[in-house]
Structures are given as C-alpha cells and as structure tokens.
Chain A
Amino acid sequence: MNKLLGIIVFLVVLYGALLLSDPSAGSYRNHFNVGQRIGLYGVLTLAAALVIVTGNIDLSMGSVVGLCATITGLMLMSPEWRIGSGAYSLTLAVPDPTVRLALAIPTVLLLGMLIGLIHGLLVTYLRVQAFIVTLCGMFVYRGLARWATNDQNTGLSSAFPEEKKWLLDGILGVPTHMVILLVLLAAAGVFLHVSVFGRYFYALGSNERAARFSGISVNFYKILAFVLCSTLTAFYAILWTFTYNSVQPSGAGSMDELYAIAGAVLGGFSLRGGDGTILGVLIGACIIHILPNMTAMWGVSNTLEPVVIGLALLVGATVDELLRRRRGTKKA
C-alpha cells in the first residue's frame, strides 16, 4: 500500500502539472482524449501485469497485436475468406458484414488464446525462459502479419460506422475505452485479489518452489497467465483496429509491449513477480499516458516523449529499489 501511495502522489503532481500547462489542458475534450488513450492502452497494461505477477514476461505482445489486428482487418473486409492455397484451399463466402464481425471476434480471441497456450507450454514443459520464448514470438508473429497481407495495409475504411461511433463517441460522456477498461479491471481485481487463482498467481511469482511444495499445480497457473495475457492482447488488437481504422502489418502494435510493461512496472508490478495490484495497473497506465500529454501541453517536442517516459520509469524503478534496500537492511 505504501508503494501505491508513492505513485498516487506522483500521479496527482503530474495531473496538477498538466492543468497548469495550458488552459486547454483542463478542457473536457483533452480529458476525453487522454481518457480514451488510457482506456485503450490500459487493456494491454493489464495483460502485461497478469504475466508479470507470476514472475514471467511477455515481449511478444506488440507483435501479437500486429498479427491479430491484421487478421481482424482481413476478416472484416473480405467477403470471401480463403484458407489454404491452390488445390487445398477452402473458400468461405461471408457477404454479410455483421456475420463477419460475429465470426471474426471469437476467431481472433481464439488465436490469442492459442498463442498464449503455446507460450505457456514452452515455458513450463520445455522450460525455455519466458523472455526467450516471447522474444522469438515477437519476430514470428510480426513476420506472419506481414506475410499474410503481402505487407499491404488493411483496414476498415468506412465499414462498421455504427460500431465505430459507439466506440469513439463515449458512453454518457465517458470514453467507451475507459468504460471497457474499468469493467476489465473490476473483473481482474476479483480474479487477482479475491479468487483462489489470483492467490496462486502471487504465490507462484513470490516463490515458485514454496508454491510447488504447497501442492499448487505451478505449470497450470503459469500457462493460464500466458493464455490470459495473449487473449487480452487479441482483444486489445480488435479495439485498436476499430479505433485507428487502418492496420499497417509492419507497424501496428510495435513497441506497445514496452509501454505496457513500463505501465505495469510503474504501477508496482515487480519484474521479480509476486507484487502489484489492480489499482496499480490503472495508475501506471494513467501515468504513462498523462505524461506525454503533459509535456506536449508544456510545449516540449513530441520527439522527446520516449525520453520522458524512459526517465520516469528509471526514477520509479530506482526509488523502488532504494525502498526495497532500506527494508532489506532492516531484515538482514
């Protein structure tokens, strides 16, 4: 809780600095825009947090976004789905866009689930480090996205106007993305902080050996963490596609995993595992996306945005380590 207090103070100071920067910073429009960004990117921060809490990491998230967004675009835009090639191909006519949407969403979510399952199986049964597995995944999924489209952009252009309107106009003045994020965070909060599963996630991240000696099926929960992460990533990819409308296979989602991991770490999720709270996910995501808005409003060049985020993360991690060391010397 102490740890959260620190970042809450940081967030408040940051918000104050934002309001002071420029009269337009306090406007409803700016709040709506920032809220939308936080709502969207917060989903990926949550995905990262679920893996980090078990002491693992997923570097492939950005590429999974690229692949899933590409496939979402392809499935939604072509009235004929062709699977396979040449004599072995199967062609499916799906003329109705609503039917396409109803089929595309579960398909993409399933793809995410499958990717997470593969990561989990490799990490548990073959004992390959999560860093390596997902680093390889990062290359593979990005390549698949580019190959599937011949490196051509896909997108929704003017299709699905109703859905886009619902997503982009907000609900009762609140950005729809933010509403979606809050619903997800509430569910994740129950999962992580109240359910037995969540307890096992933390146990696994804190001390895998002790968890195993307590009779917990360590492998199952590790796989579950990767599956949840990649499924949420696929969901984020769908939101992303509807938000930005156009998908560039080589660029979509690129680096997003790093912003997500940075947000989770700022929010109190230690990369050692076993630490962090759902409230922290929200605060971390807020900091990561208010920070660039604040500096932009102060007139700092947006090319410096990564510098600001990098330094904020560095300061956060250093303060965390110093606090840990102070507690550590008391213990040793």
Chain B
Amino acid sequence: MTPGDQPLLEARGISKSFPGVQALADVGASVLPGEILAVVGENGAGKSTLMKILAGVQRPDGGTILWEGKPVELNAVKDAERLGIVLIHQELNLAADLDVAANVFLGREPTWGGPLKLIDSRIYADASALTARLGLTCSPRTRVGDLPVGQQQLVEIARALSLESRLLILDEPTSSLTERETDLLFGVLAGLKSDGISIVYISHRLKEIERIADRVVVLRDGKNAGGLARAEIHHEAIVRLMVGRELKQFFQRHRTDGGADKPPVIQVRDVRWSPRQKAGITFALRPGEIVGMSGLIGAGRTELAETLFGVRPRTTGSIEIDGQIRNIRRPSDAIAAGVFLVPEDRRVEGLILSDSVKRNISLPILGMLSRLGLVSGRREKAKAQEMSDKMRVRTPSVNQEVGLLSGGNQQKVVLGKWLARSPRLLILDEPTRGIDVGAKSEIYSLMDQLAGQGVAILMITSDLEEALGMSDRVLVLHESQLAGDVPRSGLSEEAIMQLATGGGAA
C-alpha cells in the first residue's frame, strides 16, 4: 500500500468476544480500491467473525470501521449493502427452485401494476446483462438448482453486482469447485478487479492465494499475525505466520512400523450405502495406524463414516473387526465392537449443548456408571473429571454447560466421551474444524498417543496439511468411490488433489 492511497474500507482495533472465547482482539485490516486482499488463518483464527462484522451480520464489541475514510456503523446487512459491501457465504444463499433472474433480484424485484406488485419481466434482460459480464451463458430462466455449483456461485456474484457492490467478500469460494470452475472464477475476479471493485478473499488454499492475492492479512487466534505484500506471498511465508511455528513441530507424529505385520483392526469389504455407487469400498486399517481420508465435499467421506458406525444403513458389503465379521446395524453395535465416531458436526451430532460437560461425557457410558439402572452420581462425576483432565478440557468445572465452551474444548469433550472406553478404531470426521491452534495441536498429540497404544484411527479431513502431517497413508474418495490409497512415500498435496478431483493416479 502506498501512503497516498485512501483505503476503500478500513477496520481498526476490532474486537469481539463470545462466552468462553475471544474471537477477535484488536484486529485491523484495510482494502484499497480495486485490490484483492486475501485473509488467511487457521480455522477458528477469527476470519469468519471479522467478515461477518464487515458485512454487518455481527456487531463488534469495540473498534471502528472507516468507509472511504469516514467512520460508519454497520448494524445490519442492509447498512453494509447500502455502502456496497456484499458477503458471499461459503454455503450459497440461493433459492434453488427459482430461476437465475429471480435469484439475482430476490427481495428487490422491480414491479408494476401498483398494489398487485407484479414482477417486471425486465429482470430477465437485466439479469442477462449481469451474467454475461461474468461469462455465464445460461438463460436467466434456468432454475438455479439445475446449475453446477460453480455457476451458482456466479449467480451470487451477479446478485452482488446488481447491488452495485464495491467490495465483495468471498468466504471459501472454491471449496466445492472443480479446478476448471476455479479458473473461471479467477478470470471473473480479475475482471471485477480491473473494473475497480475490491475483493476480500478468504481461503485455506494457499496456492490460490499465491495466484490471485495482491496482499495477504494473516490472523491467528483472533489477532493480527502479520501481513504480506504481493512480492512476499508464498506458501511457506503464509504458513509460518498462520501457525506461528514450523509445520513439522506442529504435527507431532511418532511413526513406527510395528503394526505393519499385525492383522488388521478393521477390514471393510465392498461396503456401499447407496444404490448409485458403481462399486463398493474396500480397505483395511492396522493397529496403530493413522489413515487420512481425503476427498472433495460430497465425495462420500461422511457417508462412509456413518455407514461404518451404523448410523446409515449399509446396502452391501461386510465389516470385520479384529478378524470377526460384525453386523453393524446401529451405533450400539459399532460401539460394542470398539468402533467410535467423532462426528463432523459436533454441535449437532457430537454433543448436547445445553447439558453439562459431565453429562455429555457420561452419556455413552452410563451403563458402566450405574447399578441396577441407577446412575451413581459420585462415579459419574469422578469419571467425567478424570476424562476432562485427561483431555485437558479448559472449563471452570465439569458442571459447566458444554455450549459455553470454545470449539476446541467442545471437541475434547466429544473425544472424552469415547476415550472413557477403549477404542479399537476411532473414526474422526474433520476433528479440528473450527478449533483454535492450541487445541488442534493437543488433539494431534492425543491421536499420536492413541496410535502408539495400538488404536487404529481413520481421520477424515479437508485440510491437506493435516492429512499430510498426521497420516501414515491417505485414502482418497471421489464420487463415493475409493479413488486411491496413497502410501506415505507417495504423499503430496498434488497427488491427493489429483485423485480427489477424479484425475486418477498422478
């Protein structure tokens, strides 16, 4: 940034806290006109909170926001939109059953016929003009739900343009796009930039940031961790700022090959959960192995985990645990076989948020803590305290409501629920999503410790660095098929992405 440039938007000293967590502390950032600013940080670093504040979704506890040098109050999304700030969420906000034009003008339709409020058909011409500018050639009368995700995203951008947006905030826009769609999107962003529109771009994909960002702001644990100018932007520099230490230290993994000749803990053969799958899924995990599972969103990773755990009915195939065929039809069957799942959405599936730490930990083991069907309060409390200490849950007491803890501590409670028993296979579905760096590294070392005790771990993750840093090998799913089983020696981000996007072995 040259000193003479007036930033379009500047945030100064922004702070925001939620019970149990300081999401942002004295964070600053600014965007110049016609600039692409990348905001990066680990999950839980505060990126989303900052973006929500800039878009008027949430109000900061402190700090000021300047628009073209003048302080503004963004109390609602409408305030931000009036200035020309539009946030495009990771999960698109489109009405799938309406057509393109209706979506672009939703809530702001030009009408005629007075009180009858009939929609003016010129929205179709107007929408056409906007989509053409973005290289979207489909008819404005196409139902949005029939478009591929990449084009749906362009419809959202068209909607932003119709609002005469001057600052576009894109939250993880490429997370469900194919490589080709990503290229197209980058072309569109370059075009918008040359029209003088500023873009704030949030992504985990550092390669994309290297490609398109003019400047990078890095957040860590809710604070500014540093910034990089165009010439300084490269992968290692960003990662160093993000984690605040070298990557190798971060992932603590003591690999041994002790389990290589042991019989598998789990042998999955030809497992299917949907009639649309062309082939079943077959793989095995040995004791002490941490196996990563990669794939794009919708590749069937969570479905596979749920099938193995008995939440989702299995249509074909067999599951062997320790050499014995187990007919897993419901979670209690899986639990009896020593297979536990830490689900993807801990707030909905993993925990009862309104209940205490104690009651969450004891829920799956009440049988062990009771006599004649009556729960022993003393034993329950002791066990919950023990697990809470072991997992290093930071909570004032085990009677604290789980919903008030930070994401990382919530996840430790979910782990504590299961580790009170002895697992044979632990399935972790996105175990570190949305949790802070400190808790993350604690969870990694816990995984390493469990593997050392001979537990097999299947770790589903969208975070490639995590997959590379923790796994002994990586299984890749693509369209509910096993696209590859990459051994340690062949692991690289490229190899995984190639398989995940259906490109076959690299």
Binding site for B on A (CB under 8 A): 190, 194-197, 199-200, 202-203, 206-207, 209-217, 274, 330-332
Q: Is B341's CB under 8 angstroms from A213's CB?
A: yes
Across-interface contacts of B404 in A (CB, < 8 A): 331
Contact flag A196-B373 (CB < 8 Å), given A207-B353, A214-B363: yes
Judge whether B403 is part of the interface by a CB distance below 8 angstroms. yes
Across-interface contacts of A332 in B (CB, < 8 A): 18
Q: Is B350's CB under 8 angstroms from A331's CB?
A: no
Render B341-362 as a binary contact track against A, CB cut-off 8 A, 1 for contact.
Answer: 1010000111111110001000
Tell me the bound Cα distance from A195 to B374 in angstroms: 4
Across-interface contacts of B332 in A (CB, < 8 A): 215-217
Contact flag A190-B352 (CB < 8 Å), given A196-B367, A215-B331, A215-B364: no
The residue from A190, A197, A199, A331 contacting B363, defined by CB atoms under 8 A apart: A199
Across-interface contacts of B417 in A (CB, < 8 A): 214
Q: Is B373's CB under 8 angstroms from A195's CB?
A: yes
Chain B residue nearest in CB terms to A194: B374
Contact flag A199-B359 (CB < 8 Å), given A215-B332, A215-B335: yes
Across-interface contacts of B392 in A (CB, < 8 A): none
Query: Beyond A196-B375, A202-B355, A216-B332: 20 further Cβ-contacts under 8 Å?
Result: A194-B374, A195-B375, A199-B363, A203-B352, A206-B352, A206-B354, A206-B355, A207-B352, A207-B353, A209-B348, A209-B349, A210-B352, A211-B352, A213-B341, A213-B349, A214-B363, A214-B417, A215-B331, A215-B335, A216-B364
Residue of A194, A195, A209, A214 with highest tally of chain B CB at under 10 A: A214
Tell me the bound Cα distance from A215 to B336 in angstroms: 9
Q: Is A199's CB under 8 angstroms from B353's CB?
A: no
Tell me the bound Cα distance from A91 to B465 in angstroms: 79
Chain A residue nearest in CB terms to B380: A199
Can you list 17 A-B pairs with a CB-CB distance of less than 8 A? A194-B375, A196-B370, A200-B366, A206-B355, A207-B352, A209-B348, A210-B348, A210-B349, A210-B350, A213-B311, A214-B417, A215-B335, A216-B363, A216-B364, A217-B330, A217-B332, A331-B403
Judge whether B396 is part of the interface by a CB distance below 8 angstroms. no
Judge whether B3 is part of the interface by a CB distance below 8 angstroms. no
Binding site for A on B (CB under 8 A): 18-19, 309, 311, 330-332, 334-335, 341, 343, 348-355, 359, 363-364, 366-367, 370, 373-375, 403-404, 417
Tell me the bound Cα distance from A190 to B343 in angstroms: 32
Tell me the bound Cα distance from A194 to B343 in angstroms: 28
Tell me the bound Cα distance from A202 to B195 in angstroms: 57
Across-interface contacts of A211 in B (CB, < 8 A): 352, 363
Tell me the bound Cα distance from A216 to B335 in angstroms: 10
Across-interface contacts of B311 in A (CB, < 8 A): 212-213
The residue from B18, B350, B375 contacting A213, defined by CB atoms under 8 A apart: B350
A197 to chain B, nearest CB (A): 7
Chain A residue nearest in CB terms to B376: A194
The residue from B19, B343, B374 contacting A331, defined by CB atoms under 8 A apart: B19
Q: Is A199's CB under 8 angstroms from B375's CB?
A: yes
Tell me the bound Cα distance from A217 to B309 in angstroms: 14
Of all A-B residue pairs in the complex, the 7 with the closest CB atoms, nearest first, are A215-B331, A215-B335, A214-B364, A215-B332, A206-B352, A196-B366, A207-B352
Tell me the bound Cα distance from A210 to B349 in angstroms: 4
Q: Is A214's CB under 8 angstroms from B331's CB?
A: yes
Across-interface contacts of B366 in A (CB, < 8 A): 196, 199-200
Chain B residue nearest in CB terms to A200: B366
Tell me the bound Cα distance from A195 to B369 in angstroms: 11
Tell me the bound Cα distance from A190 to B403 in angstroms: 27
Residue of A190, A209, A215 with highest tally of chain B CB at under 10 A: A215
Tell me the bound Cα distance from A207 to B335 in angstroms: 19
B434 to chain A, nearest CB (A): 16
B452 to chain A, nearest CB (A): 26
Tell me the bound Cα distance from A178 to B351 in angstroms: 39
A332 to chain B, nearest CB (A): 8
Across-interface contacts of A215 in B (CB, < 8 A): 330-332, 334-335, 364
Across-interface contacts of B354 in A (CB, < 8 A): 206, 274
Across-interface contacts of A207 in B (CB, < 8 A): 348, 351-353
Across-interface contacts of B330 in A (CB, < 8 A): 215, 217
Tell me the bound Cα distance from A237 to B422 in angstroms: 49
Across-interface contacts of B363 in A (CB, < 8 A): 199, 203, 211, 214, 216
B357 to chain A, nearest CB (A): 14
A210 to chain B, nearest CB (A): 5
Chain B residue nearest in CB terms to A206: B352
B345 to chain A, nearest CB (A): 9
Tell me the bound Cα distance from A332 to B364 in angstroms: 28
Tell me the bound Cα distance from A81 to B374 in angstroms: 43
Q: Is B331's CB under 8 angstroms from A213's CB?
A: yes
Across-interface contacts of B373 in A (CB, < 8 A): 195-197
A211 to chain B, nearest CB (A): 8
Tell me the bound Cα distance from A207 to B353 in angstroms: 8
Chain A residue nearest in CB terms to B340: A215
B331 to chain A, nearest CB (A): 4
Chain B residue nearest in CB terms to A205: B352
B251 to chain A, nearest CB (A): 27
Across-interface contacts of B364 in A (CB, < 8 A): 214-216
Chain A residue nearest in CB terms to B359: A199
Across-interface contacts of A203 in B (CB, < 8 A): 352, 355, 363
Across-interface contacts of A212 in B (CB, < 8 A): 311, 331
Across-interface contacts of B335 in A (CB, < 8 A): 215
Across-interface contacts of B341 in A (CB, < 8 A): 213
Tell me the bound Cα distance from A210 to B417 in angstroms: 12
Tell me the bound Cα distance from A306 to B503 in angstroms: 70
Tell me the bound Cα distance from A206 to B349 in angstroms: 11
Tell me the bound Cα distance from A228 to B89 in angstroms: 47
Across-interface contacts of A217 in B (CB, < 8 A): 330, 332
B130 to chain A, nearest CB (A): 34
A213 to chain B, nearest CB (A): 5
Tell me the bound Cα distance from A211 to B335 in angstroms: 13
